[in-house]
Amino acid sequence: MFIELNLQSDIPIYKQLTDQLVEGIASGILKAGQPLPSVRTLAADLGINLHTVNKAYQLLKQDGFLEIHRKQGVIVQPGNLPPSDQAFLDKLERDLRPLAAEAIARGTSQQELEQIIASLYERIQNPPSQGGASS
């Protein structure tokens, strides 16, 4: 897997995990229906506990990014990904608000912030290792 954890970060491990898995889905590196490592396997690979991986998987399952079956284990959502509905847009705005406020207070222009957004969209949708050979 492409997961890279920073165990010294103040960002919880399970959050780093969900973030990178969602970005993997957003970038297309993780494809619909693709199987993910079992909680025990991924935990061993990353050197963390089984329950931390399980927490991340459960959260992504609740949000609709993953499906979990007895038979196939954990797979990337094979059907429709969770939508960009009003509930999500509302939450997005609540999360963005303090970031925008500090940007304004510091004099960051709206264009500057939108440029960062544009850059993120470009790099997430077109990641460095898209067509790379699979090892």
CB 32 within 8 A of CB 76: yes
CA atoms within 13 A on the CB side of 129: 8
Q: Is 73 helix (H, G, I), strand (E, B) or coil?
A: strand
Q: Map residues 53-92 to x or -, x wherever contact with a second copy holds by CB under 8 A.
A: ------------x---------------xxxx---xx--x
Contact 25, 69 (CB under 8 A): no
Rank residues 40 and 123 by Cβ distance to DNA and give the closer one. Answer: 40
- Contact with a second copy (CB under 8 A) among 3, 5, 29, 124: 124
Q: Which residues pair with residue 69 across a beta bridge?
A: 73
Q: Toward a second copy, which CB reaches closer, 40 or 110?
A: 110
User: Interface mask (CB under 8 A) for a second copy, residues 18-57, using x and -?
Assistant: -x--xx-xxx------------------------------
